[in-house]
């Protein structure tokens, strides 16, 4: 990846709606060159997709919770697949110990979080232990930023 690619990525990370012409003017290259570089970054999988970031509080999702779930290894994939289908789940990871999941959820309120937990964890086969922490203060957020 070239220095120009790095600069283009940073500009698009800051504002994914920025036009090729605007980027080209700032970097003193042609619009076509910027478009070609971006298309190459997409083709190589460096840029996975363009998206928008919604402020969850503005749409009534005020409770951000993080679950660490210990699961019997024979059930981890099934549990992960089921949880991934839940609309409250923003991100879900199988951790390297192959018996735990790390899950980030967003819900409207504490009652919705409790309902999510009851539906997905209580009395569920293969789930051994659940630890839940809710977000107090967001200091830094990588969403929209470079995935490294």
pLDDT digits (tens, 9 = 90+) for 31-52: 999 999 999 999 999 999 988 8
Q: Please determine, for residue 110, whether its predicted confidence score (pLDDT) is greater than 80.
A: yes
pLDDT at residue number 142: 59
User: What residues contact 14, with CB distance under 8 A and at least 6 apart?
Assistant: none
Contact 57, 82 (CB under 8 A): no
pLDDT at residue number 138: 78
Query: Which domains, ranges and CATH numbers included, belong to the chain?
Result: 3-43 (1.10.10), 56-134 (3.30.70.920)
> What pTM did the predictor assign?
0.75
pLDDT digits (tens, 9 = 90+) for 64-106: 999 999 999 999 999 999 999 999 999 999 999 999 999 999 9
């Amino acid at each position: 990846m070239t220095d120009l690619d790095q600069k283009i990525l940073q500009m698009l990370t800051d504002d994914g709606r920025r036009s090729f012409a605007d980027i080209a003017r700032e970097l003193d290259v042609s619009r076509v060159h910027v478009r070609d570089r971006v298309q190459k970054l997409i083709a190589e999988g460096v840029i996975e997709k363009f998206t928008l970031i919604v402020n969850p509080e503005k749409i009534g999702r005020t409770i951000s919770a993080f679950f660490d779930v210990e699961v019997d290894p024979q059930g981890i994939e099934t549990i992960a697949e089921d949880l991934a289908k839940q609309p409250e789940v923003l991100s879900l990871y199988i951790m390297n110990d192959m018996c735990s999941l790390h899950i980030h959820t967003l819900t409207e309120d504490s009652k919705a979080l409790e309902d999510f937990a009851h539906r997905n964890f209580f009395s569920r086969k293969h789930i051994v232990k659940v630890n839940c922490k809710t977000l107090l203060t967001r200091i830094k957020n990588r969403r929209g930023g470079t995935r490294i």
